[in-house]
Amino acid sequence: MVKLRFGPRVRKARVRLGISQGELGRKLEPQVSHATISLWENENSFPNEEQKAQVNWILGQTAQTDTKNSAEALDDEIIESPSAIGAWLTKARLSKDFSVPELAAKSDLSAASIYNIESGKSQNPQRATIEKLERALGQQLSAEAKEEAKEEATIEGVGEWFNFDPNSSAEWPHAAGIYVLYDISDRPIYVGQGQRISSRLRDHHEKFWFRAPIVQNAAYVGIESKQLREQIEKVLIKFLKSNAVLNQQNVDR
């Protein structure tokens, strides 16, 4: 269970579903303004029980009655949804009546990359990927969604993890860092590091295993320090043990 107070819980679920404060307010009966939703989310005021039940239903959460007051910490589970970015992408794509292949062609991204974002396999795409999608769709990703994705993907003291399609060379990151390759079932199968990740991926590209569905998705975190990269790589490989089926150089057997 995720322990969040009512206001933050509503905001998190709303952003992940790609619903604006105004849209949520208009779905209520009677309707309320976006300013009222903002007050609720910041806990400067609170909905009555009927309004709360409606909000819970709209956001796909189980309605519960607070034992003391609306500011009481709750143990409600946040609705499972792909991601704030995935919800935005699906909504924006359908509003333009684009199929995934059509959007891939317009944005110069792979169809797999778009599928991964919408399904939630790619929770935090690279900024360049977001910018391509924004241009192709003519719609901007909200600051709320960007902040939500960054918050979820940031590891304190290390950095921000970004997802990318490893089977599209155009999406290979040129940064120094740690990268993880995943198979079609989201199992991590390779952990690596390098001064230029794209160069390492180019080396892998000719290998028989470097293709879908064996290599289906990937993520990386930028790290400049070679010593830190090597330390983290070794820890990750040892932690994954036999799950890192394609890179076991540091695994104790």
CATH code where residue 207 lies: 3.40.1440.10
Q: How many residues does the chain have?
A: 253
CATH code where residue 66 lies: 1.10.260.40
Q: What is the pLDDT of residues 1-60, one digit of tens each?
A: 445 688 888 888 888 777 888 889 999 999 999 999 999 988 999 999 999 989 988 887
**What does the DSSP assignment read for 142-171?**
PHHHHHHHHHHHEETTTEEEEEE-TT-GGG
**Residue 79 pairs with which residues in a beta bridge?**
none
Share of the chain above pLDDT 90, in %: 49
**Checking DSSP bridges between strand 217-222 and strand 154-155, what pairing results, if any?**
unpaired
**What's the confidence (pLDDT) of residue 63?**
35
79 CB-near residues (< 8 Å, 6+ apart): 13, 16, 17, 59, 60, 61
**What's the confidence (pLDDT) of residue 78?**
42
Q: In this structure, are 133 and 96 located in the same domain?
A: yes
**What's the confidence (pLDDT) of residue 243?**
62
Reference 202, options 229, 171, 225; nearest CA is 171
**What's the confidence (pLDDT) of residue 245?**
57
- The model's confidence at residue 73, banded by pLDDT at 50, 70 and 90, is very low
Mean pLDDT rounded to a whole number for the chain:
84
Give the domain range for residue 27: 1-80
Integer Cα distance of 240 and 238 in angstroms:
6
Output 178 or 237, whichever has higher pLDDT. 178
What average pLDDT does the segment 90-94 reach?
91
pLDDT at 230 over 50: yes
Q: In this structure, are 126 and 176 located in the same domain?
A: no
Integer Cα distance of 198 and 170 in angstroms:
9
**Are 220 and 180 spatial neighbours (Cβ–Cβ below 8 Å)?**
yes
Q: How many domains does the chain have?
A: 3
pLDDT at 61 over 90: no
Q: In this structure, are 91 and 110 located in the same domain?
A: yes
131, 155, 179 - which closes a domain: 155
Q: What is the pLDDT of residues 129-174, one digit of tens each?
A: 999 999 999 999 999 889 888 988 998 888 999 999 999 999 999 9
**What does the DSSP assignment read for the chain?**
---B-HHHHHHHHHHHTT--HHHHHHHSSS---HHHHHHHHTTSS---HHHHHHHHHHTT------SS-TTS-B-PPPPP-S-HHHHHHHHHHHHTT--HHHHHHHHT--HHHHHHHHHTS-SSB-HHHHHHHHHHHT-PPPHHHHHHHHHHHEETTTEEEEEE-TT-GGG---SSEEEEEE-TT--EEEEEEESSHHHHHHHHHTSTT-STTTS-EEEEEE---HHHHHHHHHHHHHHHGGG-TT--TT---
92, 126, 155 - which closes a domain: 155
In this prediction the pTM is 0.72
**What's the confidence (pLDDT) of residue 177?**
97
